[in-house]
């Protein structure tokens, strides 16, 4: 099915450049030139991916991203921020409020296309092997057949990336992984993602599955290195 990409930028030349190149790749394109127009379209005709400038009239890019992540109908909408704001603080803020990727202007069109493909791949439901359908660990159960996760019997909602990250952690308990290693295993070698993105997704995952995300039981931080999934108990298939 043809993917619909919404491009939001008040610079019409940028919109036309991005739209032309994405159109050549077979994507269906919608254009918006301010945050209010974009928000109205997203609520009425949810796109498959949003390419978002930050410096917008009306609702700016940061505010629009927050609105999208607060609404259940749009909370998992993939977002690539494309902006002239090059400060690392802005990049970190963009990732922390929910952007999936961040590209600064001026940009390479081929890199943008690669990032679009990578983000769309990551948001597809993760492939699961037939022999691994359900795992249980302490109070946590993950069902890869139905894409459901429960904690103490209560269902929690995870975005596809968090589900893939949890699957990797729970099937590799006890071993420490750096952020770059997690990017390779979970995001893939072809994706253009900052290591900081791993921290953002780990924080979201902890908020969903931990009783206290500031004192986690499952996903542990190894200072100056990365993360590991606790090996306090054996991870086993639910039907063992």
Supply the DSSP string of 196-226, one letter for each residue.
HHHHHHHHHHHHHH-SSTTS-SSEEEETTTE
Bigger pLDDT: 4 vs 84: 4
Please tell me which residue, 189 or 175, carries the higher pLDDT value: 175
What is the DSSP code string of 150-164? Answer: EETTEEE---HHHHH
Three-state SS for 52?
strand
User: Looking at per-residue confidence, does 57 or 144 come out higher?
Assistant: 57
pLDDT given for residue 129 in this prediction: 41
> Whole-structure pTM over 0.75, yes or no?
no
In the chain, the percentage of residues whose pLDDT exceeds 90 is: 37
How far is 5 from 81, CA to CA, in rounded Å? 13
pLDDT of residue 85: 78
CATH architecture assignment, domain 134-237: Orthogonal Bundle (1.10)
pLDDT digits (tens, 9 = 90+) for 15-34: 999 999 999 999 999 999 99
pLDDT above 80 (res 79) = yes
pLDDT digit string, tens, across residues 119-167? 887 666 444 444 556 777 788 888 877 778 999 889 998 888 888 899 8
Backbone φ and ψ for 139, nearest 5 degrees, come out as -90, 5
How far is 158 from 149, CA to CA, in rounded Å? 8
Give me the mean pLDDT over the 45-49 stretch: 94
Task: State how far the Cα of 38 lies from the Cα of 171, in Å rounded to an integer.
Answer: 40
In the chain, domain spans: 4-122, 134-237
The pLDDT assigned to 36 comes to 94
Whole-number pLDDT of residue 189: 55
Dihedral of alpha carbons 118, 62, 104, 17, sign: positive
Output the average pLDDT for the chain.
Answer: 84
Quick one: average pLDDT of 232-239?
Answer: 51
Report whether pLDDT(13) > 90: yes
The fold adopted by the segment(s) 4-122 is Rossmann fold (3.40.50)
């Amino acid at each position: 099915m043809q993917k619909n990409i919404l491009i939001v930028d008040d610079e019409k030349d940028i919109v036309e450049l991005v739209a032309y190149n994405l159109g050549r790749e077979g994507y269906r394109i919608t254009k918006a030139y301010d945050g209010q127009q974009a928000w109205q379209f997203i609520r009425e005709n949810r796109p498959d991916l949003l390419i978002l400038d930050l410096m917008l009239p009306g609702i700016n890019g940061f505010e629009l991203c927050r609105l999208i992540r607060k609404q259940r109908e749009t909370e998992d909408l993939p977002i690539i921020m494309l902006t002239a704001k090059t400060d690392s603080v802005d990049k970190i803020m963009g990732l922390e409020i929910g952007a999936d990727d961040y590209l600064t202007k001026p940009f390479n069109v081929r890199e943008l296309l690669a990032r679009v493909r990578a983000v769309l791949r990551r948001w597809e439901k993760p492939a699961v092997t037939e022999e691994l359908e359900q795992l249980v660990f302490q109070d946590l159960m993950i069902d890869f057949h139905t894409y459901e996760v429960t904690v103490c019997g209560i269902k929690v909602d995870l975005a596809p990336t968090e589900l893939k990250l949890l699957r990797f952690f729970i099937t590799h308990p006890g071993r420490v992984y750096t952020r770059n290693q997690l990017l390779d295993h979970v995001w893939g070698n072809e994706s253009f993602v900052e290591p900081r993105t791993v921290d953002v997704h780990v924080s979201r995952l902890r908020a969903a599955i931990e009783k206290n995300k500031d004192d986690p039981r499952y996903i542990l931080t190894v200072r100056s290195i990365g993360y590991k999934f606790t090996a306090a108990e054996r991870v086993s298939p639910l039907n063992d």
